[in-house]
């Protein structure tokens, strides 16, 4: 890239090693501040930056010549707001080479995904307007740990799209010794416990962490406890052996990769795998205890208990609903087919939690191919991003009008609930074209699963504009309780009977 197309900013976060002086000597803009941690330092640099795209790397990284161009190119796609590059190392120590194999395993995992939710700042890029609108990295993380993960999780929760760019490479000095490796993994686990207070769903899945690693943490911890228990009961040694066997089986995938990529590392790999699991587990326990009483901002997320309870109610409720209401589908299907040609069910892509698309199922209430039939010009509000919904829409069939009047067309969405794509109660599932036009604050509604019913349906339905709808849904998420779900379900019965806004 031509040198006049970018600027380099170095933020001196109270360092004492002379880095700022070296940067100044090379004509780089240097911002000095008292030590406040890497999150605050990066945010300070982002505020000073003039460009539309922010690219981050760490002080211990050496970007390759094409790194910047490749990171920026990834954001040429207008829907993409963030990108993540890759680590490499020239080191020959076995521990460092094992770390490189770890990263390669995760890069393979991310390469298979169109979009990711996990971006590290050693090689990262974000659109500046989105970065600023979301307040950057969380400065309550005082040290380099998982503050970069936390920011990307916040963006993913709003449905923003980020991509992995494996060819955008920076060279790094990995851990060289076993104690270094232990300390880093313990620190990651420690601060991950703090992160999970605000993002409990990330304990289940993210685009970077192998699921087998979570199994290994549990098995290693259980084996250690059983070894201690064996001091009073020798019979527990059989259980220890079972845990060790399970641990070894869970590690076969990574060990096969190491054998292909760098077979010499197999000498230390089993030990380092166990150290990794124990260090992460110990860090999670220590951090969990340390941050147990610390208040966290959960304005756009549900806690552990609420998520589990809500999902349990969804599974039981949707399964019962499908069983009880399935006899109604046959006569309704016949009526739909007799009324107008076309399929019984209507499938349409909608946007679910964290912006993930899914196919929502409804009973067809319009003529076949209605989406390709334009509405009259006067029916479309020019200043609205919501697709119009009119009580006199000529595309709606006679049977469809009756189904809409009693909201019967929504019943097949019980299948979406059972599959985990929707909830019984939540924000209304939005069409992709509408979400693409959202302002940043609108995206808060994507933090939870959409619902068959929700605050919008019991407070005006189609009569609400977008801002009114989103305000109700954000309030629902911010002050969520299970009682609120029960109340909305009860109110939905009255709304359906009244038929207000049902068209």
Better-predicted residue by pLDDT, 439 or 374: 439
Cβ(171)–Cβ(64) under 8 Å?
A: yes
pTM score of the predicted model: 0.89
Sign of CA dihedral 166, 184, 209, 81: negative
Spatial separation of the C-alpha atoms in residues 29 and 23, rounded to whole Å: 8
Which tokens go with 329? 């589908």
Question: Is the pLDDT at 22 greater than 60, yes or no?
Answer: yes
Question: From the CA atom positions of the chain, what is the Rg in Å?
Answer: 27
Contact 198, 303 (CB under 8 A): no
Confidence band for 66, pLDDT divided at 50, 70 and 90 = very high
Tell me the C-alpha distance between 160 and 147, whole Å.
18
Span 108-120, mean pLDDT?
A: 96
What is the secondary structure of 336-384 as a DSSP string? HHHHSSS-SEEEEEEE-GGG-EEEEEEE--B-TTGGGSPPPGGGS-TT-
For the cut 60, the answer to whether the pLDDT of residue 89 exceeds it is: yes
Residue at token pair 């006679």? 398
CB atoms near residue 212 (< 10 Å)? 16
Sign of CA dihedral 275, 107, 141, 91: positive
- What confidence category does residue 503 fall into, taking pLDDT thresholds of 50, 70 and 90? low
Query: Average pLDDT of the chain?
Result: 91
Evaluate whether 149 touches 124 at the Cβ level (below 8 Å). Answer: no
Task: Name the E strands within 28-110.
Answer: 29-33, 53-56, 61-63, 80-88
Length reported for the chain:
503
For residue range 234-284, list pLDDT tens digits in order.
Answer: 778 889 999 999 999 999 999 999 999 999 999 999 999 999 999 999 999
Residue 77 banded pLDDT, cuts 50, 70, 90: very high
pLDDT at 386 over 90: no
**The token pair that represents 350 in the structure block:** 């909608």
- Yes or no: say if 124 and 56 are a contact pair by the CB < 8 Å rule: yes
pLDDT score for 463 = 78
Task: Give the tens place of pLDDT for each residue, 325-366.
Answer: 999 999 999 999 999 999 999 999 999 999 999 999 999 999
Q: What dotted CATH number matches 1-175?
A: 3.90.550.10
Q: Which residues contact 209 (CB under 8 A, 6 or more apart)?
A: 106, 118
Per DSSP, helices labelled H in 144-235 are 147-157, 178-198, 211-229
* CA–CA separation, 355 and 155 (whole Å): 10
pLDDT of residue 378: 44
Band of residue 38 on the pLDDT scale cut at 50, 70, 90: very high
> In 3-state terms, what secondary structure has residue 92?
coil
Q: CA nearest 428: which of 348, 321, 343?
A: 348
Position 462 scores a pLDDT of 72
Please tell me the distance from the alpha carbon of residue 437 to that of residue 451, in angstroms, as a whole number: 21
Dmax of the chain from CA atoms? Answer: 82
Q: In what order do the strands lie in the sheet with 53-56?
A: 53-56, 124-127, 80-88, 161-172, 61-63
Q: What pLDDT does residue 230 have?
A: 83
Rounded distance between C-alpha atoms, residue 299 and residue 372, angstroms: 39
Residues 112 and 125: their CA atoms lie apart, in Å, by 20
The pLDDT tens digits for 400-439 are 999 988 889 999 999 999 999 999 999 999 999 899 999 9
Statement: residue 27 has pLDDT above 90: no
Per-domain residue ranges of the chain: 1-175, 177-291, 304-498
Name the DSSP letter for residue 462: G
- Give the other-Cβ count within 10 Å of 260's Cβ: 9
**Quick one: pLDDT at residue 387?**
58
List beta partners, residue 471. none
Element (H, E) at 234: none
Q: In this structure, what token pair is assigned to residue 258?
A: 């190491």
In this model, does residue 382 exceed pLDDT 50?
no
197: alpha, beta or left? (left if phi > 0; alpha if psi -120 to 50): alpha
Q: Is the pLDDT of residue 88 over 80?
A: yes
| DSSP code at position 387 | P
Which whole number is the average pLDDT over 13-31?
Answer: 89
| Position 197 pLDDT exceeds 70 | yes
Q: What is the model's pLDDT at position 461? A: 73
Tokens representing residue 16 in the block: 């004492």
Question: How far is residue 225 from each of residues 212, 214, 219, 234, 291, measured CA to CA in Å?
Answer: 20, 17, 10, 13, 23
CA dihedral defined by 387, 391, 392, 396, rounded to 10 degrees? 70
Q: Coil, helix or strand for 137?
A: coil
What confidence category does residue 73 fall into, taking pLDDT thresholds of 50, 70 and 90?
A: very high
């Amino acid at each position: 890239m031509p040198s006049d197309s970018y600027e380099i900013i170095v933020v001196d976060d109270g360092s004492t090693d002379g880095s700022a002086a070296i940067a100044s000597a090379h004509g780089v803009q240097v911002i000095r501040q008292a030590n406040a941690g890497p999150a605050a330092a990066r945010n300070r640099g982002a505020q000073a930056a003039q460009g539309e795209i922010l690219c981050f790397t760490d002080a211990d990284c050496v970007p390759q010549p094409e790194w910047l161009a490749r990171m920026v190119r990834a954001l040429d796609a207008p829907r993409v707001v963030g990108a993540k590059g890759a680590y490499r190392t020239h080191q020959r120590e076995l521990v460092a080479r094992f770390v490189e194999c770890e990263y390669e395993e995760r890069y393979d995992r991310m390469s298979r995904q169109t979009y990711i939710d996990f971006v590290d700042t050693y090689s990262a890029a974000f659109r500046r307007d989105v970065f600023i609108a979301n307040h950057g990295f969380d400065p309550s993380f005082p040290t380099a740990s998982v503050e970069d993960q936390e920011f990307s999780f916040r963006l993913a929760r709003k449905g923003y799209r980020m991509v992995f760019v494996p060819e955008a490479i920076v060279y790094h000095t990995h851990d060289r010794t076993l104690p270094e490796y232990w300390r880093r993994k313990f620190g990651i686990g420690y601060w991950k416990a703090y992160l999970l207070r605000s993002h409990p769903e990330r304990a289940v899945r993210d685009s970077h962490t192998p699921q087998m690693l979570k199994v290994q943490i549990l098995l290693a911890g259980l084996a250690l406890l059983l070894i201690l228990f064996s001091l009073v009961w020798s019979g527990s040694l059989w259980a220890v052996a079972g845990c060790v066997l399970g641990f070894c089986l869970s590690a076969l995938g990574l060990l096969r990769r190491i054998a292909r990529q760098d077979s010499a590392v197999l000498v230390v790999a089993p030990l380092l795998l166990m150290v990794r699991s124990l260090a992460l587990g110990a860090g999670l326990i220590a951090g969990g205890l340390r941050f147990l009483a610390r208040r966290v901002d959960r304005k756009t997320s549900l806690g552990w208990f609420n998520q589990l309870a809500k999902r349990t109610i969804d599974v039981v409720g949707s399964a019962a609903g499908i069983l009880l209401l399935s006899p109604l589908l046959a006569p309704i299907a016949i009526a739909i087919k007799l009324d107008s040609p076309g399929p019984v069910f209507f499938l349409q892509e909608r946007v679910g939690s964290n912006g993930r698309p899914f196919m929502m199922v409804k009973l067809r209430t319009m003529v076949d191919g209605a989406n390709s039939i334009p509405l009259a010009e006067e029916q479309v509000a020019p200043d609205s991003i919501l697709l119009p919904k009119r009580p006199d829409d000529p595309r709606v069939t006679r049977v469809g009008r009756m189904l809409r009047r009693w909201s019967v067309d929504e019943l097949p969405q019980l299948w979406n609930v059972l599959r985990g794509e929707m909830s019984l109660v939540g924000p209304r599932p939005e069409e992709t074209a509408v979400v693409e036009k959202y302002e940043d604050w609108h995206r808060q509604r994507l933090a939870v699963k959409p619902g068959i019913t929700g605050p919008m349906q019991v407070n005006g339905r189609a009569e609400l504009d977008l801002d009114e709808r989103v305000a109700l849904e954000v309030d629902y998420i911010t002050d969520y309780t299970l009682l609120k779900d029960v109340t909305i379900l009860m109110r939905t019965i009255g709304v359906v009977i009244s038929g207000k806004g049902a068209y």
